[in-house]
Amino acid sequence: MIARLSAAAAVSAVVDDRISWFGRAEGDPLPALTLLQISPGQSWTHGGPDGVDRPRVRFDCYAATDVGAIALKRAVIATMTAPADVDGWRFHPGMLEADRTIEEPQLAGGSDLFHQQIELKFYHEEL
């Protein structure tokens, strides 16, 4: 997932390599993108797992301006709603499940922090 987002010019133009799973520490450089798997979305048949997963993943877009956070969110949506084959995985078009603006307190020193959060569900399978 990180390889796919890092390879997307629209995403890397905003966050460079500041993409990680789980969270970011206060004081880490902005803008930044974090990911969190909300549900595994494993598909099953009567014979067991069918090999196609459809996880729900949360993407948290952080920036020092509202414009930056929204630009990152739009870049992630454009990337993840398009089909792609990356690093031996086939990603089918993602489906936007949630879109939120999160109110964040100011950072130490009075700097603003803007936070956009989206959740996408998408099918992917190993090639």
Structure pTM? Answer: 0.86
CATH at residue 38 = 3.30.2000.30
Q: What pLDDT is recorded for position 15? A: 94
State the sign of the Cα–Cα–Cα–Cα dihedral 79, 13, 17, 66.
negative
Phi, psi (rounded to 5 degrees) for 18:
-85, 65
**C-alpha–C-alpha distance, residues 126 and 34, integer Å:** 23
Domain span at 22: 2-126
**Could you report the per-residue pLDDT of 30-53, keeping only the tens digit for each?**
999 999 999 877 777 788 877 677
**C-alpha–C-alpha distance, residues 88 and 100, integer Å:** 31
Q: What pLDDT is recorded for position 106? A: 67
Q: Which two tokens stand for residue 46?
A: 């009567």
Q: Which of 117, 5, 8, 23 is nearest to 70 (CA)?
A: 117
Q: What pLDDT is recorded for position 77? A: 97
Q: What is the pLDDT along the chain (127 residues), one digit of tens a residue?
A: 898 999 999 999 999 989 999 888 777 889 999 999 998 777 777 888 776 778 899 999 999 899 999 999 999 999 999 999 988 888 899 999 999 998 877 666 667 789 999 999 988 888 8
Number of domains in the chain: 1
Q: What pLDDT is recorded for position 46? A: 84
Q: What's the longest Cα–Cα distance across the chain?
A: 57
Mean pLDDT (the chain, rounded):
88
